[in-house]
Structure 1
Amino acid sequence: MDLSLPRRHGSVSIRLVRPRDARVLQNELLSNRSWLRPWEATSPDGPVSFDMKAGIRRLLQQYRDGSGVPFVMEDHDEVAGQLNVWGIARGSLASATIGYWVSERFAGRGITPTAVAMATDVCFTDLQLHRMEICIRPENKASIRVVEKLGFRYEGLRRRYIHINGDWRDHYAFALVRDEVPEGVLERWVRGQAPQDAATVPPADRLHA
């Protein structure tokens, strides 16, 4: 894949992760343990080694293989977190999933929705994908606010979907397809035209999550 990166809007930018990002990313993850642990993917087979250098190598190999795009989120050129596009499917699906984390000290600045919007636009334009999905634990109000802001549609409850923080957890699924945002996700949000109720979770799913 050959992407036109980095992408920038105001002080926020996204770019491909680099091997030399390992130290700063590991420091951010370690210093944000209590903030990030409730939302982190884990393995049902037990603890895995925390090796950021090896993790970045795997992510970049997935990028070379065409199955993912590992982004770093920055604010004023300072690393604020990560955003990974994963599970890229071609052919009749032409879809992928977005996951992300941001350091606590950068939370509440609009960095994550801006980065998610830019990454989704990259996937729709540069990669010519048709559908982008974000799956979020019902308890993660901050992440749900991101999809609410950007107008991602609620698509349903996925029971015991991803192993998070030591157990299989329910997730809400939100998505957009390219035809819905011909002007781009970022442009639609900046103009204040993202639908405000698209991500609304029905009462029945709120009760059962």
Structure 2
Amino acid sequence: MRGLATPTLLGEQVTLREYRDDDRQLVLSVVHDPLIPLMTTVPQTACTTEVQAYIERQRRRASNGDGFQFVVVENALGRAVGQVGITFREQNHERASVGYWIAPQFRGHRYAAGALRTLADWALHSLTVERLELYVEPWNEASCRTAESAGFEREGLLRRWERVGSERRDMYMYSLVRQ
């Protein structure tokens, strides 16, 4: 499904919307985070060109048919606080993985859980997605709680599943399936 457009999704606590040029500050706020650039395509420097290229890549994912990347905006003050996205894992788009990050200064307010619930509800009811998958490092208890609060169930431990920086790491697999 090429040529898709990123919709705006309104949740109880957050709104999910397409990336805009003025989201550079949000991306800049996480370039030096110890994990986000290692696990995502967020640049590891504050280079304006690289940050703009990152934003452009996020915007193209829907039109390329790869998935959807959203900026997470808190509803109360309208501030961009993070990102949540879905990446299709099968050509028919029935299985997809979900990822998210919240900028350090906005963590602890349950924005990730709100974003994950909003995205999952939309994906399972408005798209052809039958199964959403989410991977979390075992030490990341906050992310485990986020996944579970959004209705995801832990299925097991995937040993040496994902490269994070220079090493392969174990990940818990979580899933949420269409009922």
Q: Is the TM value for this pair above 0.5? A: yes
Residue 117 of structure 1 aligns to a residue whose secondary structure is helix
* Structure 2 CA distance for partners of 1:145 and 1:173, relative to 1, 3 Å: same
**1:94 Cα deviation (Å)?**
0.4
TM-score (norm 1): 0.72
Q: Residue type of the partner of 1:74? A: V
* Structure 2 CA distance for partners of 1:124 and 1:171, relative to 1, 3 Å: same
Percent identity over paired residues: 28
> Which stretch shows the higher mean deviation, 80-89 or 168-177?
80-89
TM-score (norm 2): 0.83
1:28 maps to 29
Residue 109 of structure 1 aligns to a residue whose secondary structure is coil
Tell me, yes or no, if structure 1 residue 38 matches structure 2 residue 35. yes
- Tell me if the contact between 1:67 and 1:89 (Cα under 8 Å) persists in the aligned partners: no
Counterpart-to-counterpart distance in 2, 1:111 and 1:173: 21
**1:4 Cα deviation (Å)?**
4.3
- Tell me if the contact between 1:42 and 1:166 (Cα under 8 Å) persists in the aligned partners: no
Q: Residue type of the partner of 2:71? A: V
Counterpart-to-counterpart distance in 1, 2:40 and 2:65: 24
Match for residue 7 of structure 1 among 7, 10, 14: 10
2:130 maps to 130
Counterpart-to-counterpart distance in 1, 2:72 and 2:99: 12
- Tell me if the contact between 1:62 and 1:69 (Cα under 8 Å) persists in the aligned partners: yes
Counterpart-to-counterpart distance in 2, 1:37 and 1:87: 27
Residue 128 of structure 1 aligns to a residue whose secondary structure is coil
Counterpart-to-counterpart distance in 1, 2:118 and 2:73: 12
Tell me, yes or no, if structure 1 residue 168 matches structure 2 residue 141. no
Counterpart-to-counterpart distance in 2, 1:88 and 1:118: 20
1:16 maps to 18
Give the greater-gyration-radius structure (CA): 1
- Tell me if the contact between 2:15 and 2:72 (Cα under 8 Å) persists in the aligned partners: yes
CA deviations over 1:52-97 (Å, ceiling 9, x no partner): 2111222222210211101111112101111121134243x60111
Residue 77 of structure 1 aligns to a residue whose secondary structure is coil
Counterpart-to-counterpart distance in 1, 2:54 and 2:105: 23
Counterpart-to-counterpart distance in 1, 2:111 and 2:83: 11
**1:2 Cα deviation (Å)?**
4.4
Q: How big is the alpha-carbon RMSD for the aligned residues of Structure 1 and Structure 2?
A: 2.3
Q: Answer 1 or 2: which has greater helix percent.
A: 1
- Tell me if the contact between 1:134 and 1:173 (Cα under 8 Å) persists in the aligned partners: yes
1:207 maps to none
1:111 maps to 111
Counterpart-to-counterpart distance in 2, 1:19 and 1:139: 34
Tell me, yes or no, if structure 1 residue 70 matches structure 2 residue 72. no
* Structure 2 CA distance for partners of 1:99 and 1:57, relative to 1, 3 Å: same
Counterpart-to-counterpart distance in 2, 1:38 and 1:144: 16
Q: Could you tell me which runs of 5 or more consecutive residues in structure 2 were left unpaired when the two chains were aligned.
A: none
- Tell me if the contact between 2:6 and 2:18 (Cα under 8 Å) persists in the aligned partners: no
2:151 maps to 151
- Tell me if the contact between 2:137 and 2:169 (Cα under 8 Å) persists in the aligned partners: yes
- Tell me if the contact between 2:136 and 2:143 (Cα under 8 Å) persists in the aligned partners: yes
